[in-house]
Amino acid sequence: MTRISARIRIYFGAERAIGPGRIELLEGVQRTGSLAQAARAMNMSYRRAWQLMQSLNKSLASPVSIAAKGGRHGGGATLTPAGKALIRAYRGFESRMTRESRARFGKFAPPRARREPGHYIARATRYAPRSERTSM
């Protein structure tokens, strides 16, 4: 069967949204302890990552990250308990929605064999006379 997945975006009003990109950024900060490193891993500019994080911190009920200023030991960023809870809530919901999508839409998906390139070619060569088959 064809792989079915769901991409979830949660809106709080017209402009505030939590989606896969912001969650990935939060996970990167959690993993590396640095907004700059998380942004680099996503091929995103530091400025854009900083803007996204500021937007999240201002638009939610409580901040999701805390930035530490640079200095002798360098700066960094850490997630607040709210940030960690947001990741868990989003990933849990995403997982449930993916299962639900597969259950509801799986019957509409074409069989995987029809979608793979070369499927019909391989089948045709199997039934061709031995003298006409090409070796692989």
* Cβ atoms of 80 and 63 closer than 8 Å: yes
State which fold the 10-110 domain adopts: Arc Repressor Mutant, subunit A (1.10.10)
Per residue in 81-136, pLDDT tens?
999 999 999 999 999 999 999 999 988 888 764 545 544 444 444 444 555 545 54
pLDDT at position 71 is 57
Residue 33 CA to residue 132 CA, distance in Å, equals 61
* Cβ atoms of 47 and 5 closer than 8 Å: no
Indicate the angle between helix axes 20-32 and 81-105, nearest 10 degrees. Answer: 140
pLDDT at position 120 is 47
Domains of the chain, by residue range, sit at 10-110
Whole-model pTM?
A: 0.74
- According to DSSP, residue 45 is labeled -
Concatenated DSSP letters of 75-94: -EEEE-HHHHHHHHHHHHHH
